[in-house]
Amino acid sequence: MLLTKTQIEQHNDALLTQHQRNFEFISGNIPGIEGVIKKLTDFQVAIPSWALGNGGTRFGRFAGRGAPSTLEQKLEDVGLLHQFNRSSGAISLHIPWDIPKDATALKQLATQLDLKFDAMNSNTFQDQPGQAHSYKYGSLQHIDKAVRKQAIEHNIEVIKYGQELGSAALTIWLADGSCFPGQLSFRKAFNNTLESLGEIYDALPEQWKVFVEYKAFEPNFYSTTVGDWGQSFLFASKLGEKAYTLVDLGHHLPNANIEQIVALLLNEKKLGGFHFNDSKYGDDDLTVGSIKPYQLFLIFKELVDGMDARGMDHATGLGWMIDASHNVKDPLEDLLQSVEAIKIAYAQALLVDAAQLETAQENNDVTLAQELLQGAYRTDVRPILAEARLRAGAALDPIALFRQLKVRDQLVNERGENAVATGL
């Protein structure tokens, strides 16, 4: 299903007076408000195809209702989200969960929905039916060259699918590692992985990037072969200038200073992509901004600062993607919340007075530095986001409209109560 222009306009008209009051109140205090709105309008967050159905935990999966069961339906769901907020104009596909059968038709559908294909994701963390070799003991790190070769060929196949769709990046997340001390040689695992990544790197088309995602633990619980940003940075540096580190917020040990990691990776020109989610304990994959919104703001402050220092375009300089999995909420409502939380943190980061902060730092004025950051963080920027949406033809209150129109019930009517999404 898609929204009509009238549905959005009627919704906005009803909220317009109150919105204008809220927006005038905040905009009067913000110099350069038009620049902030422009940046918010340009900023798009890619939706991963696997976030559109209900995810699960290793204890089980609770089915949602009316989930998209084909790749076309997944695109339609993202197109629908994009109508609500005009901020999710890209989809990130996962192979083999989303193998495009007819790339030309799929590209046409994407154009119709005003969507782009973001980074492609490969999968060597689970075995597929009919696969010759198992990834039980790793993929690109495996001691057996035949297994490594199979995993390399899979990644090259993913690049080919991506080329057909107009994507320009490959994200590699490896589950490779070990569960017990002594299980593997750290050096051999690293060197095998580097050699395998090198073969994939050599297959990258012109203009393509490869993102090496790291994760501290899980599913391996003793060591992970790309376990932290240092290891990812090492791989990316050795591979070459098309290789970058990808930061997934949930892939750190508790209390890691992610904002510092982001600042240094940007400084070294090695930050390529970003996966948003939130967590309280580990890789919880909760809604962005639901647990640690201040940390999200601090990360965005470093992103804005680091990108400005290098003259990068905020919207296109890095790959922005949500990577979360939902067990209790409606996935589409959750994604609307996620995109909103990301843009709130981004808007707040844009409000930080960089010049004043620098002066405070030069004077060792710790109190003022904190005041400047928290002043921006404590600003309610939601009316600015709403104004950007209004001007872009999206909804002033996306979740309210989603509920008014009973979108989920309509999707159930179209797809059936028990439609299940492929993937997790």
Residue numbers of the site for Mn ion (CB under 5 A)? 248, 275, 323
Between the CA of residue 354 and those of 135, 157, 286, 293, 372, what are the distances in Å?
A: 48, 44, 31, 20, 9
Q: Which residue, 228 or 248, is less far from Mn ion as judged by CB?
A: 248
> What 3-state class would DSSP assign to 77?
helix
- Minimum distance from residue 277 beta carbon to Mn ion (Å): 8
Which residues fall within 8 angstroms of residue 108, CB to CB, at 6 or more apart?
A: none
What is the β-pairing status of strands 169-173 and 120-121?
Answer: parallel
> What 3-state class would DSSP assign to 383?
helix
Tokens standing for residue 376: 């921006």
DSSP string for residues in 81-99 = HHHHHS---EEE-BTTTT-
In the block, tokens 């294909």 appear at 117
- Minimum distance from residue 121 beta carbon to Mn ion (Å): 8
Separation CA 325–CA 250 (nearest Å): 12
Q: Which residue, 210 or 386, is less far from Mn ion as judged by CB?
A: 210
- Minimum distance from residue 227 beta carbon to Mn ion (Å): 14
- Minimum distance from residue 248 beta carbon to Mn ion (Å): 4
- Minimum distance from residue 49 beta carbon to Mn ion (Å): 13
Q: Which residue, 212 or 411, is less far from Mn ion as judged by CB?
A: 212
What is the β-pairing status of strands 319-322 and 169-173?
Answer: unpaired
Helix (H) or strand (E) holding 183: none
Separation CA 80–CA 68 (nearest Å): 12
Separation CA 51–CA 28 (nearest Å): 38
Q: Which residue, 211 or 346, is less far from Mn ion as judged by CB?
A: 211
Q: Which residue, 323 or 387, is less far from Mn ion as judged by CB?
A: 323
Separation CA 333–CA 311 (nearest Å): 34
Of 202, 284, 276, the residue nearest 246 (C-alpha): 276
- Minimum distance from residue 84 beta carbon to Mn ion (Å): 24
Q: Which residue, 302 or 323, is less far from Mn ion as judged by CB?
A: 323
Separation CA 78–CA 396 (nearest Å): 18
- Minimum distance from residue 396 beta carbon to Mn ion (Å): 31
Q: Which residue, 341 or 396, is less far from Mn ion as judged by CB?
A: 341
